[in-house]
Structure 1
Amino acid sequence: MKNTKLFFILVFFLITFAISCKSTKSLVDVGCEENGNITACLDKNYAENNNIRQTLNIWLPCKIHHCDKKFPLIVHIHGGGFTTGEKMEKPNIDFLEAGFAFSSINYRLIPESKFPDYLHDAKAAIRWLRSNSRDLRIDSSRIGIYGESAGGALTSYMAFTNGINKVEINGNIIDVEGNIGNNKNESSKISAAINYYGHADSKMFCDLKKGLDPNCEDTSDFCHSCTSPISYIGKGRSVSYMIIHGTDDKLVPYIHGDMLSKKFTEIYPNNNPELTFITVENGGHGWWDKKTFDDISNSTKNFFLRNLYNNREVKKEKSRTIVSEKLNYDKDIKNIEKQKNDK
């Protein structure tokens, strides 16, 4: 009997040891390439199919043979009104220099998809990244996301449905997790989120579009509370959340950011999880002067340093207002877009 017990104990430790010693593939073996001091892993399909809309890029802040540690990950979600847009083909250098891995994802667009398909894609991308975290040198316990416009709204969906699979909105049961890809046992949890000028209320947003264009099609499956990010606040295990919105935004008016901030504060009155709302006075839909752009870039970097690196030397930023120059779209847009691309 004693020998039998010893045998099973030995088997248990051998299995445990074998699992813990599972070899990590080289970055070359997983299809990555070195680009200067950066390692790039491009066009990875997180849905295990051939759809380019379900691919992502990832960059690591190290040479391909010198990535000997795991990095917290920041994931970018592009904008485009859920009808257009592409993942970034160049990384955010500021985040890499701060010691983060960086990823940018594609997701299916209207009319190929409808809500909540693009949410399912974003969650599938996180599950794929977590499933491959060992080989990609990602610290899967520290993942943050951010996005602009539609990507900001998708970021909000992700933040507010964090850690849950289904949610009831006005009597409708919404599957917020989906079953995209082969990593359904992995978690899609995130730890921090930044919403750049994404909408709060879908009905209000659609009414605005009709006002700007009377011929705007009423996509009724989009224009209701089930697709409004604000409807999901308090439903999941929410995370630290930052909102950045300009008061002169004509595409997604400032009231959307203000509504999200007020609702978040109502649900979490003790500022736990923490909320930071940055108002850009005179700011348009991401159209700000360089000084403002640099100020906000520094705030977002510090937000992720605090929440992903747990760097408490970086103080929590209070909600504040930044005054930007009032820019002329036609005159200044090329310089503004160049600033963003250079980042």
Structure 2
Amino acid sequence: MADLVTPGELRQLIAAPHPDVAPLPRATPYADGARALRGVPYAEVADARPLELDLWLPASADPAPLVLFVHGGAWRRGRRDDMGVRTRGWAPGPFERLAAAGFAVACVDYRLSGEAIFPAPLEDLRSALRWLGLRADELGVDPERTVVWGESAGGHLASLLALTHDEPRLAGAVVWYGPADLTSPRPPFDPADPTTPEALLLGGAPASVPELAAAASPLKRVHAGAPPFLVVHGEADSMVPGSHGRDLAEALRAAWVPVELRTIPGADHCWHGATEDEVIRIFAASLDFVRQHT
């Protein structure tokens, strides 16, 4: 007869291994020796779904510099493996291209605004960095050479992570059309409106929670000693006005933080309206920035 156990002991026995010690999934091989590990758990959060990441690894056996990619979706939706509508049809895809260039890429889940309000998503990114550092030797990545790269809402979170994470200090941040200020009216954004994506992120209209809105605004978190930034924004962005990118770059320069600002004439949000050659150049410039700072 099998040994009897209490319900509590049984729950412990059948629970999935903690992400810190769970076996890694089998890697899928790609061209140029790149490999992808899909759906790797990196954190357990009370009363929430397990958080996962996809990890792209280059062919090199040396510890690889790391890109932490943060997806967009108005903090409300989105997929960790999506760099935006203009790269969805690429073959090879953008993450495979980064791996072929010698970089590891961690595409991370974070809690969306329907699951938890700010600062939950930022805390999740910090948890991902902690897990990647903990298992760096096993994965073959160098957490001391990490650039965070985000688009739209992910660009906002990437900015905040670069400006608030100290151990280890990030090597840089790539920000594609990310919101930088959740406190001031910037049409179509109205800080008094409780129905905006920003309000859903904060759990209330930004004007009603001014301290939290300031804490969630990269523009308010700029400081000397922050890592270098590449800020890229469309001049015709109708969802996140280009003033976000310009003002963030200006604040970084005023704090003596290295920053490169690229504005794309005629480009709307997610590079809508830009030519395919322009999108490829934006990606190449972002890759060059990562290479330079790792």
For the aligned pair, the TM-score class normalised by the smaller chain equals 0.7 to 0.9
Structure 1 counterpart SS, 2:79: coil
Letter in 2 for 1:40: A
Alignment of 1:45-194 (within 5 A): 45-48=41-44, 51-52=48-49, 54-62=51-59, 68-88=61-81, 92-163=95-166, 187=167, 189-194=169-174
Structure 1 spans left out of the alignment, 5+ residues: 1-28, 164-186, 309-343
Q: Distance in 1 between matches of 2:231 and 2:50?
A: 26
Residue deviations 1:236-285, cap 9 Å, x none?
x41011100011001000111111011111111xxxx4210001111111
Q: Distance in 1 between matches of 2:75 and 2:278?
A: 27
Q: Distance in 2 between matches of 1:190 and 1:126?
A: 10
Distance 1:230 1:215, change over 3 A: closer
Among candidates 247, 259, 266, match of residue 247 of structure 2? 259
Distance 1:161 1:214, change over 3 A: closer
Structure 2 counterpart SS, 1:92: helix
**Residues 126, 165 of structure 2: 8 Å contact kept:** no
1:208 Cα deviation after fit: 2.6
Q: Distance in 2 between matches of 1:289 and 1:161?
A: 35
Q: Determine the structure 2 residue equivalent to 1:276.
A: 260
Q: Distance in 1 between matches of 2:164 and 2:109?
A: 20
Q: Distance in 2 between matches of 1:147 and 1:94?
A: 16
Residue deviations 1:193-221, cap 9 Å, x none?
1110111110236863459x896565344
Residue deviations 1:100-151, cap 9 Å, x none?
1111001001132111111100111011111110000101211111000100
**Residues 197, 244 of structure 1: 8 Å contact kept:** yes
Letter in 2 for 1:48: E
Q: Distance in 1 between matches of 2:264 and 2:148?
A: 21
Among candidates 23, 26, 30, match of residue 24 of structure 2? 30
Q: Distance in 1 between matches of 2:102 and 2:187?
A: 42
1:226 Cα deviation after fit: 2.2
1:201 is the counterpart of 2:190:
no
Among candidates 290, 298, 306, match of residue 292 of structure 2? 306
Q: Determine the structure 2 residue equivalent to 1:18.
A: none
1:42 is the counterpart of 2:26:
no
Distance 1:122 1:214, change over 3 A: closer
1:53 Cα deviation after fit: 6.0
Distance 1:135 1:214, change over 3 A: closer
Q: Distance in 2 between matches of 1:86 and 1:280?
A: 25
Letter in 2 for 1:275: V
Q: Distance in 2 between matches of 1:119 and 1:205?
A: 23
CA RMSD of aligned residues (A): 2.5
Residue deviations 1:274-306, cap 9 Å, x none?
210001111111222111101111111111111
1:32 Cα deviation after fit: 3.0
Residue deviations 1:161-209, cap 9 Å, x none?
131xxxxxxxxxxxxxxxxxxxxxxx45321111101111102368634
1:224 Cα deviation after fit: 2.7
Identity in percent: 27
Structure 2 spans left out of the alignment, 5+ residues: 1-22, 83-92
Q: Distance in 2 between matches of 1:294 and 1:231?
A: 32
Q: Distance in 2 between matches of 1:291 and 1:239?
A: 29
**Residues 245, 257 of structure 1: 8 Å contact kept:** yes
Q: Distance in 2 between matches of 1:35 and 1:248?
A: 39
Q: Distance in 2 between matches of 1:71 and 1:247?
A: 34
Q: Distance in 2 between matches of 1:266 and 1:153?
A: 20
Distance 1:205 1:159, change over 3 A: farther
Larger Rg: 1
Q: Distance in 1 between matches of 2:185 and 2:158?
A: 17
Q: Distance in 1 between matches of 2:276 and 2:266?
A: 13
Among candidates 230, 251, 263, match of residue 219 of structure 2? 230
Structure 2 counterpart SS, 1:234: coil
TM-score normalized by structure 2? Answer: 0.77
**Residues 53, 106 of structure 1: 8 Å contact kept:** no
**Residues 203, 224 of structure 1: 8 Å contact kept:** yes
Structure 2 counterpart SS, 1:139: strand
Aligned length: 248
Q: Distance in 1 between matches of 2:109 and 2:67?
A: 15
Structure 2 counterpart SS, 1:225: helix
Distance 1:215 1:307, change over 3 A: closer
Distance 1:39 1:306, change over 3 A: same
**Residues 147, 173 of structure 2: 8 Å contact kept:** yes
**Residues 160, 234 of structure 1: 8 Å contact kept:** yes
Q: Determine the structure 1 residue equivalent to 2:20.
A: none
